[in-house]
């Protein structure tokens, strides 16, 4: 005779995961363009890549990798960048862009988890770049990305 155990596994998404809406239930904004996603969390990058499947997407796992990509290739319509990353933070990457590639600095959307240090709060208050707070929704991401790319196209 043995002991019987019942194990129930609940499927959870990674922390700060994006809550998505059903794509069929919405009018999708016009989508095209090239986007760089910079986030040290693999799951966040993977979810954003899935959400932005109609765009050409390039990924960077940290600020240093993003700098290396951008040093060689500035043909991005938009940069989605996590604010808080080890090493080169999103703020430091933005400051680097302002000096090295100013036109891209204005096309950066900060990704935030909502928990800010006073330094981060102060920095975000001084720049005009929009922020996308986690957890975010599919429609919210698509509308913000499409709108920013459209503004870039209109210039």
Q: What is the domain count for the chain? A: 1
CA-closest candidate to residue 133, choices 124, 62, 60 = 124
Query: What pTM did the predictor assign?
Result: 0.79
Is residue 148 assigned to a domain?
yes
User: Which CATH number does the domain housing residue 64 bear?
Assistant: 3.40.50.2300
Is residue 16 assigned to a domain?
no
Average pLDDT over residues 89-104: 96
pLDDT of residue 136: 84
pLDDT tens column, 45-76: 999 999 999 999 999 999 999 999 999 999 99
Is residue 82 assigned to a domain?
yes
- C-alpha span between 85 and 112 (Å, rounded): 10
Edge-to-edge strands, sheet with 56-60: 56-60, 34-38, 78-82, 108-112, 131-133
Range of the domain at 80: 29-154
Average pLDDT over residues 128-133: 92
Encoded tokens for 131:
């922020």
Phi/psi of residue 46, each to 5°? -65, -40
């Amino acid at each position: 005779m043995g002991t019987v155990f019942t194990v129930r596994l609940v499927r959870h998404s990674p922390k700060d995961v994006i809550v998505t809406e059903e794509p069929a239930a919405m009018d999708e904004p016009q989508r095209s363009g090239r986007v760089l996603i910079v986030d040290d969390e693999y799951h966040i990058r993977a979810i954003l890549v899935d959400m932005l499947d109609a765009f050409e997407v390039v990924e960077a796992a940290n600020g240093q990798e993003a700098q290396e990509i951008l040093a060689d290739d500035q043909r991005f319509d938009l940069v989605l960048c996590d604010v808080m990353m080890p090493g080169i933070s999103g703020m430091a990457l933005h400051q680097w862009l302002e000096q090295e590639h100013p036109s891209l600095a204005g096309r950066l959307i900060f990704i935030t988890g909502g928990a800010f240090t006073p330094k981060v709060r102060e920095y975000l208050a001084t720049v005009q770049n929009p922020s996308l707070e986690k957890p975010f929704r599919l429609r919210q991401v698509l509308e913000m990305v499409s709108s920013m790319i459209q503004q870039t196209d209109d210039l």
